[in-house]
Amino acid sequence: MSKSTDIRVVDAILTTEEFPFRTPLKFGGRVMDKHRVINVQVTVEDRAGNHAIGLGSMPIGNVWAWPSDVVSAEQAEAAMEAFATRVVRLTDSLDEFGHPIDLIYHVSAEYFHQAKVVAELHGLDEPVPELAQLVAASPLDAALHDAFGKVHDLNSYNMLSKEFMSRDLSEYLDEQFEGEYLDRYTLRDPKERLPLYHLVGALDPLTEADIEKRIDDGLPETLPEWIAADGLTHLKIKLNGDNLDWDVNRVLDVDRVASAAQEARGCSEWFYSADFNEKCENVDYVLGFLNRVRESSPQAYDRIQYLEQPTNRNLAEHPENKMHEAAKLKPVVIDESLVDYESLLLARELGYSGVALKACKGHTEALFAAAAAQKFGMFLCVQDLTCPGYSFLHSASLAARFPTVAAIEGNGRQYCPSANRVWEHQYPSMFEITDGTVGTGVLNEVGLGM
């Protein structure tokens, strides 16, 4: 049954921007040194003829979303941009009214076909993978939700109830969610503040001795400098996943340096997350890592809050990678593996105990995954794609609306600060960090909150 609040797309425009990284970022054996950002502006109208414009923005993130042995990084980036363009143009024939979730579901039915078409047009040996599809389409998804709130002068997170949605969650997930709507799993007001997870990349200097030549751009460069300047209490540590000695020593080195810095400022409690970017061969590697860290430094072990995506993202092809034993020690969350509800269910079967949400996988999918994670009592965290500017604000708005999320990742300010300049003057509490937290309470405006 349609709703009087439903909207339809009048126009959609895609543009791109490029921003250099301040320093290279290494993860999963790959290095990024720039961002190409997709921006989508959508004009919608409601049944009364009122119009509004919504905005969505996201880095293409091909190095993370589409690692490949047969498609180069440059080819993947170009293909993802082409896919995004084709997805946006699908709205030209989308004449129906609906809730943004239903509109995206309608458009997403064409993703598989468009992924094959783009690969053929670009002469690629493989189609655009599902994760890369979601990332490329995510600006349109966000823009629709943003415009939906704006045309009704409401925050879109408060338009997820039966009053605004024609179908309950069982229509999108399964019968366990019959009679439930997304308002059950989201907050009506954003959390006032959230701790910020700061990234310690594999190439990042921990101390002055690690710096060959200073950038001298006014921003911190060593870990103690970042901790002192931003009052950090949460550190995400990028690990190799295929070199156990290096991984263990990296955590111990980070803990040693962080402990001295935290003691100097009188902080007694801080936390780590460990991100293997799916490079571990199996769960035995993870167990070996945890046991060696605990043996070497019980304090460092206790500070590890969760582990992220230790093994290959393709769960169906690697059912042997069960995480039950590791999850008994620390929450183990899926990241690259999470592309839909079915992948979340499979991850649970394989022993994963947590979910890493990302706005770059689509606002709609993030809402569904957050609902399912809460339903099943899973650990929940929100991470970004080194999201700068508007995309970081979007990611933070998601984190601030889920009851069980305790922190937000945001490393755009470290690696791509030039993209923040337009927004940091409007939302200083989100970009000027002094006590290790971001002031998400300001993300309470109409649309997605910005």
Q: What is the mean pLDDT of residues 352-363?
A: 97
Shared domain check, 328 and 285 = yes
Provide the domain count of the chain. 2
CATH assignment of the domain containing 265: 3.20.20.120
Q: How confident is the model at residue 408 (pLDDT cuts 50, 70, 90)?
A: very high
- Give the residue from 170, 193, 220 where a domain finishes: 170
Quick one: 97 and 126 in the same domain?
Answer: yes
Its domain, for residue 205, covers 185-442
Residue 53 shares a structural domain with residue 80: yes
- On the question of pLDDT at 106 being above 90, the answer is yes
Q: Supply the DSSP string of 198-259, one letter for each residue.
A: EEE-TT--SSGGG-SS---SSS--SHHHHHHHHT--EEEEE--SS-HHHHHHHHHHHHHHHH
β-bridge mates for residue 35, sequence order: 19
Is 179 among the domain residues?
A: no
| Same domain? 235 vs 383 | yes
Residue type, 30: R
Please check whether residue 293 lies inside any domain of the structure: yes
Same domain, 161 and 194: no
pLDDT tens string 3-28? 899 999 999 999 999 999 999 888 76
pLDDT interval class at 30 (50, 70, 90): confident
Residue 180 lies in a domain: no
The mean pLDDT value of the chain amounts to 96
Q: Residue 32 pLDDT more than 90?
A: no
Domain match, 325 and 282 both: yes
Q: Which residues contact 417 (CB under 8 A, 6 or more apart)?
A: 22, 219, 388
Please say which residue of 170, 198, 218 terminates a domain: 170
Instruction: Over range 25-39, report the average pLDDT.
Output: 87
Could you tell me if 108 and 201 lie in one domain? no
On whether both 258 and 393 belong to a single domain, the answer is: yes
Query: What's the average model confidence in pLDDT over 133-147?
Result: 98
pLDDT > 80? residue 66:
yes
Is the confidence at residue 1, as pLDDT, over 70? no
Q: Express each pLDDT in 251-298 by its tens digit.
A: 999 999 999 999 999 999 999 999 998 999 999 999 999 999 999 999
123 within domain boundaries: yes
- Taking the C-alpha atoms of 160, 165, 169 and 170 in order, what is their torsion angle to the nearest 10 degrees? 170
Same domain, 297 and 221: yes
